[in-house]
Amino acid sequence: MSEKLLTETALNVKDAFENISKAAEKAGRNPSEIRLMAVTKTVTPEKINEAIKSGCDLLGENRVQELLEKYEFYDKSAEIHFIGRLQTNKVKYIVDKVSMIESVDSLKLAEEIERRCAKIGKVMDVLLEVNIAGEESKGGFSPDEVVEISEKIKEFPHLRLRGLMTIGRFGAEIEETRQYFEKMRHLLVDIKKKNIYNIYINVLSMGMSSDYELAVSEGATIVRIGRGLFGERKYV
Ligand SMILES: *Cc1c(COP(=O)(O)O)cnc(C)c1O
């Protein structure tokens, strides 16, 4: 197929995969260690399915309502991770639809995921969200809580801790962002050391449209891209 026939979304997906590969190789990493997530807030199912058809096998939703409205229209060959603020009373709607919850930001939420997953006999992969820049407006655990929380998560039989997620500070300079990503990489090492029998702790979800190549060079295993694939968001 000639490039002209590819949709804009398909071209963006292709570019993103290429950029990820280049950044990985430059950092001496294997590109296959890194997954591209298409972040789908405000995006129509048609466009989302174009991204899936172009090789993107991971979607990120951050609103329960939107996930429920669009879910039936998704090509089910892609996995879905939940990446947004999650109220405990909404957990029940999504546990059967997502394969990972990346935004666990309180023990109360972890408890509710445990309770709901126990009911349906599922073990949910989870990431702890880290408020790496210590921003007032953001959820997530502070970096010094993370190790302790990771040990508590061990007690939940229906949760499987896979690693950490963060959203960089909006508007930060490159060097500041790089330091946050580096700090995240060290935190992942810290929780691995504390949970040495958990071979599943190997996921670092960080980097968005504006900084995913930097995130790859600092060790990201999932980069979450919205605007870079689908264009600017239109909120209605
Ligand atoms: C919207 C969003 C993204 C993607 O942001 P872009 O700048 O559009 O790439 C990534 N992660 C989370 C948690 C988001 O809410």
Mean pLDDT to the nearest integer, 44-67: 97
- pTM beyond 0.85, yes or no: yes
Measured from the Cα of 103, ligand 1's closest atom is 13
pLDDT, residue 32, reads 97
C-beta of 168 in contact with ligand 1 (< 6 A): no
CA angle 179, 32, 209 (to 5 degrees): 45
Residue 81 burial class via C-beta count within 10 angstroms: exposed 0-12, middle 13-18, buried 19 and up:
buried
C-beta of 219 in contact with ligand 1 (< 6 A): no
pLDDT, residue 2, reads 52
C-beta of 209 in contact with ligand 1 (< 6 A): yes
pLDDT in tens, 96-143: 999 999 999 999 999 999 999 999 999 999 999 999 999 999 999 999
